């Protein structure tokens, strides 16, 4: 991966920002009502047409071959307008990345994220699971045709609108989980009604039940090394998760600053009230710190030379996403009663930030593991 200069990275920022402002911002709040509003398929098609949907897809497969710094830049700008779309892109990038690395070429031809088809195939994978401890809730039994899958897995993002899902399953007799890619319309696949969620509402979620779902051999991704491979790939995407957090806090801060300069209470702009000023200063300071941290995390993913890479990727994600949950809570507070109202767009950020905190495992588990990774480095 070539080292990109600041100018090139800025170009990606600008392109993504322009797209986000023009195509995503106008309807983001409306689509945030899903499932009581539709899924924004139009924007997804446009993302695909602009090669924004899976920028990390290798050039050999017709993709942009972008690294995590590029993905991070784009996700930050998209998340400023709508974190739902940012996380959808993250999921598609990661899913297609897994396919590209673990799947066969024939199998790759079945799904297409690229614009020629006009109608990109969305994939789903368990983004909230701890990559080192995937759910052990599906059994795969070897059959003549391939495998028969039985079990269930909850809360898969993009599942209601996906062509296929990448899911973990334990092959009978094996110790670890394997990874399978399963079309959502295979016999025996039961997808629940879309789940009403706290955040990322523009990205539909559902539960999945598998009842003797028969899949061919080719559906097995990465053979016995599936779970480990998933873990390795997921690590790369921790940086982009921080980039989404950065976009959310930037959006929240901008809205808070604008409001604080317009709203008068006590006879003066509320930005003149020190308690409001402190909250805004906090947000700005966090943005400055997170900008460096997210950029660093994305660089770590692109360049494996740092021996503390694994440790840093986890610690940065943990700290950054937690900070943004607190910052967005303050972001609502600055706007007072208006912060609580949907149309101001601020409460959405608090919900999206909290949802983001659960990506790649719950917070306490991440907390426990940071020291493990640090110790195992030295």
Partner 1 sequence: MKPEFDNPDLFSFDDSFASLYHLGTIKKKVINVARKDFEEYRVFAREHLRPLALAADLRAQKDKNSLADDMLALAVKHKMLTRMIPQFLGGTGSGVMWGLNPGIEELASVDPCYNGGVIAGHGLGFVALSMTMNMERMEWVAEQTVKGEQEGKPFLIDCAITEPMAGTDYEEVDLLPRARLMSSAKRVNGGAVLNGSKCFISSGHLANYHLLIMPYDINDPVNSNGMFLVANDAPGFNLGRIEDKMGMKAGAASELVFKDCFVPEQNILYSYDDFSESYAEELVMAVLGITRITVGAVGTGIARGAFEHALSFAKNHKWKGKTIIHQQWAQERLTNMLMNVYTARNAYLEASYVLYTTLMPGHMPGFMNTDIVRKMYNNSIAKRLRYTKMARKAMLKTIKSMPENEKQRLQFYSSMAKVVGTDIGMQNCHSAMEMMGEYGLRHDVGMEKLFRDAKLCQIFEGTNQLNRLNMFKYFIGRNIPDVKVFG
Residues that bind partner 1 (CB under 8 A): 33, 36, 128-129, 133, 154-155, 195-199, 264-267, 273, 275-276, 322, 325-326, 329, 332-333, 336-337, 339-343, 347, 350-351, 354-355, 357-358, 361-365, 367-368
Closest CA to 167 of 195, 110, 209, 111: 209
Phi-psi region of 79 (alpha: psi -120 to 50; beta: other; left: phi over 0): alpha
Q: Give the residue with the Cβ less far from partner 1, 209 or 303.
A: 209
Q: Give the residue with the Cβ less far from partner 1, 147 or 200.
A: 200
> What residues does 214 pair with on adjacent strands?
148
Q: Give the residue with the Cβ less far from partner 1, 63 or 331.
A: 331
> Which pair of tokens denotes residue 367?
């907390």
Q: How far is the CB of 351 from partner 1 (least distance, A)?
A: 7
Q: Give the residue with the Cβ less far from partner 1, 38 or 116.
A: 38
Whole-angstrom distance, CA of residue 59 vs CA of residue 62: 5
Q: Give the residue with the Cβ less far from partner 1, 66 or 91.
A: 91
Quick one: CA dihedral 105, 107, 112, 113, positive or negative?
negative
Q: Give the residue with the Cβ less far from partner 1, 69 or 351.
A: 351
Question: In this structure, are residues 314 and 376 in contact, taking their beta carbons and an 8 Å threshold?
Answer: no
Q: Look at the block and give the residue holding tokens 């053979």.
A: 223
Whole-angstrom distance, CA of residue 86 vs CA of residue 248: 10
Q: Give the residue with the Cβ less far from partner 1, 3 or 371.
A: 371
Q: Give the residue with the Cβ less far from partner 1, 216 or 264.
A: 264
> Which pair of tokens denotes residue 286?
């966090």
Q: How far is the CB of 168 from partner 1 (least distance, A)?
A: 14
Q: How far is the CB of 339 from partner 1 (least distance, A)?
A: 7
Whole-angstrom distance, CA of residue 172 vs CA of residue 139: 6
Q: How far is the CB of 340 from partner 1 (least distance, A)?
A: 5
Question: In this structure, are residues 197 and 355 in contact, taking their beta carbons and an 8 Å threshold?
Answer: yes
Q: How far is the CB of 37 from partner 1 (least distance, A)?
A: 10
Burial of 231 (0-12, 13-18, 19+ CB in 10 A): middle
Long-range pairs for 366-372 at CB < 8 Å and ≥24 separation? 366/314, 366/317, 366/318, 367/318, 369/132, 369/314, 370/311, 370/314, 370/315, 370/318
Q: How far is the CB of 196 from partner 1 (least distance, A)?
A: 4
Q: Give the residue with the Cβ less far from partner 1, 173 or 267.
A: 267
Question: In this structure, are residues 200 and 228 in contact, taking their beta carbons and an 8 Å threshold?
Answer: no
Q: How far is the CB of 270 from partner 1 (least distance, A)?
A: 8
Q: How far is the CB of 328 from partner 1 (least distance, A)?
A: 10
Long-range pairs for 103-108 at CB < 8 Å and ≥24 separation? 103/181, 103/218, 103/221, 104/218, 106/218, 107/181, 107/218, 107/219, 108/61
Q: How far is the CB of 336 from partner 1 (least distance, A)?
A: 5
Q: How far is the CB of 32 from partner 1 (least distance, A)?
A: 10
Whole-angstrom distance, CA of residue 248 vs CA of residue 155: 22
Quick one: CA dihedral 175, 241, 334, 16, positive or negative?
negative
Whole-angstrom distance, CA of residue 349 vs CA of residue 251: 8
Q: Give the residue with the Cβ less far from partner 1, 35 or 146.
A: 35
């Amino acid at each position: 991966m070539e080292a990109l200069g600041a100018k090139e990275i800025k170009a990606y920022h600008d392109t993504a920002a322009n797209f986000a402002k023009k195509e995503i911002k106008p309807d983001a709040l409306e689509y945030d009502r899903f499932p009581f509003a539709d899924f924004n398929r139009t924007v997804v098609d446009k993302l695909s047409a602009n090669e924004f949907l899976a920028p990390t897809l290798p050039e050999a497969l017709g993709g942009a071959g972008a690294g995590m710094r590029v993905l991070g830049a784009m996700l930050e700008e998209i998340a400023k307008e709508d974190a739902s779309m940012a996380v959808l892109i993250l999921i598609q990038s990661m899913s297609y990345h897994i396919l590209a690395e673990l799947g066969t070429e024939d199998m790759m031809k079945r799904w297409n994220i690229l614009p020629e088809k006009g109608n990109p195939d969305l994939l789903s994978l368990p983004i909230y699971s701890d990559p080192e401890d995937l759910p052990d809730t599906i059994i795969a039994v070897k059959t003549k045709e391939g495998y028969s899958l039985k079990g269930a897995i909850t809360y898969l993002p993009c599942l209601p609108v996906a062509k296929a899902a990448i899911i973990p399953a334990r092959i009978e007799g094996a110790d670890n989980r394997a990874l399978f890619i399963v079309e959502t319309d295979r016999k025996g696949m039961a997808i629940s009604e879309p789940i009403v969620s706290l955040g990322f509402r523009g990205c539909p979620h559902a539960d999945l039940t598998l009842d003797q779902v028969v899949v061919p051999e080719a559906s097995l991704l990465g053979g016995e090394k599936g779970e480990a491979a998933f873990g390795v790939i997921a690590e790369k995407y921790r940086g982009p998760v921080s980039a989404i957090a950065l976009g959310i806090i930037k959006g929240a801060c901008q809205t808070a600053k604008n409001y604080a300069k317009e709203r008068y209470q006590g006879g003066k702009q509320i930005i003149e009230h020190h308690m409001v000023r402190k909250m805004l200063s906090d947000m700005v300071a966090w943005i400055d710190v997170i900008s460096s941290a997210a950029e660093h995390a994305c660089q770590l993913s692109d360049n494996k030379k740092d021996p503390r890479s694994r440790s840093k990727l986890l610690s940065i994600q943990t700290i950054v996403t937690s900070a943004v949950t607190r910052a967005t809570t303050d972001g609502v507070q600055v706007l007072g009663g208006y912060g609580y109202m949907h149309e101001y767009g601020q409460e959405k950020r608090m919900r999206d930030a909290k949802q983001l905190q659960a990506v790649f495992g719950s917070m306490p588990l991440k907390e426990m593991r940071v020291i493990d990774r640090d110790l195992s480095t030295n």
